[in-house]
Chain A
C-alpha cells in the first residue's frame, strides 16, 4: 500500500521502502503518533524478519507523509508512516479472519534437491518440502460505560511451517567427489569441476550459485 504513494519504491528485496530516493533506513514509523522504530536500524520494530508488528485488523487508517510534513512529524530524512489503531464505540463490533497460503498447489522449486545414498551412489533426488502458512485472528470492540469509556481488543496469530533444504553448491557435489576419489591416484588433489557430473545435473546449480 505504501508503494502506491508517489515517490515511494521498494528498497532492496527485504521489505524496506524508499521515499524520494532516500535510504529505507531513514524513515520514521509511528503508531498513534508513538514511536515504532527499531532504534539501531531505524526500521519498523522487529525489522524485516517478523511479518508485521501490529495486526492489520487493528488499524483504522494510516497516513504516508513523503515530504514537507508538519513539524509534528519529522525525525526522518525519508518518509513518515503513521498508523492509527481502531477504538471501541457505543456499539459492539468485531471481525474474524483466516488466511492460508499453501505450496500444495504450487510447483516444486526446480533447484530443490536432497542427496541420498542409493546403492552406494550419492544421488541427487528432487525434493519438495512443505510450505504452509495459517494466519488467523480477530477484533472486538464496544462500550464499557455508554458514551464514556470504550474497549477494543485485537488478536492475530501466524503459524508457518516451511522446512528448508540444506544442499551443496553443486547438486551432485558428493557424487562428483566420490567418483573422482575412486579414480584419483593416492594423494592426488581432486578438482571438483573436472570430476564427471551426475547424469542430468550438469549445469544445474542450487539457489543462484554458479
Chain B
C-alpha cells in the first residue's frame, strides 16, 4: 500500500510546461504602373508547448498525462490590385497556406508500465481521484488544412 501511494505521489507534483510562439511576416508592395499594384505577403507561425495540451493551473492528471502541443502555420498571399477604369477595379488574389496542428503524448515516468502502443504507459483512471499514462485522446497526428 505504501509503495502504491509513494508511486502516485511520485507522478504528481509540479509539471514543467512552457508555451513559446514565434511569428514573422515579410511583405513587399510593388507599384507596377499607375494602375496595377502587386503585393506579396508571407506569414510564418511556430507554436511549441511541451505539456501544454492541458492549460489549467491545476489538473488531476499525472505529470506525464498533460500532452505536448504544437502548431505550424505558413501562408503566402499574392494580390494584384488593378484600376480598370474610373468606375471599375479588380483584385486578383492567390493564396497558399497550411495549418498543421498536432498533440503528442509524453514519455512514461519511472515506475509506470510501458506496455501500451509505442512503449507508452496505458491510460489509467483512479475513479474520482487521478489519472496517469497516455491520455485517451492522444496521439493526435498532424491535421493539415
Q: Which residues of A contact B (CB under 8 A)?
A: 31-36, 38-40, 45-47, 49-51, 53-55, 58, 85-88, 109, 111-112, 114-117, 122, 127, 129, 131, 137, 144, 147-170, 173-174, 177-178, 181, 192, 206-207, 209
Closest to A50 in B: B47
Q: In whole angstroms, what is the CA distance A154 to B28 when docked?
A: 12
Interface residues on B, range: 35 or more
- Contacting residue for B19 out of A151, A160, A177, A209, CB 8 A: A160
Contact of A173 among B16, B62, B130, B145 (CB under 8 A): B130
Given contacts A109-B57, A161-B18, contact A47 B12 (CB under 8 A): no
Give Cα distance in the complex from A58 to B24, angstroms: 9
Interchain CB contact under 8 A, A53 and B2: no
Residues of chain A with a CB closer than 8 A to B141's CB: none
A127, A153, A174, A192 pick with most chain B CB within 10 angstroms: A174
Residues in chain B within 8 A of chain A (CB atoms): 1-2, 5-6, 8-9, 11-31, 39, 41, 43, 45, 47, 49, 51-52, 54-63, 65-66, 69, 71, 73, 75, 77, 79, 91, 93, 95, 97, 99, 101, 128-130, 143, 145
In the complex, chain B residues whose CB is within 8 Å of the CB of A162? 17-19, 57
CA distance A149 to B24 in the complex (A): 20
Closest to A154 in B: B25
Residue of B nearest to A33 (CB): B93
B91 to chain A, nearest CB (A): 7
Tell me if A32 and B12 are in contact (CB < 8 A): no
Complex CA–CA separation, A28 to B48 (angstroms): 26
Are B5's CB and A174's CB within 8 A? yes
On chain A, the residues within 8 Å of B25 by CB distance are 54-55, 58, 85, 152-154
Q: Considering the complex, give the chain B residue whose CB is closest to the CB of A51.
A: B21
B89: shortest Cβ distance to chain A, in Å?
11
Q: What residue of chain A has the Cβ atom nearest to residue B49's Cβ?
A: A49
With a cutoff of 8 Å between Cβ atoms, the chain B residues found around residue A206 in the complex are: 58, 60
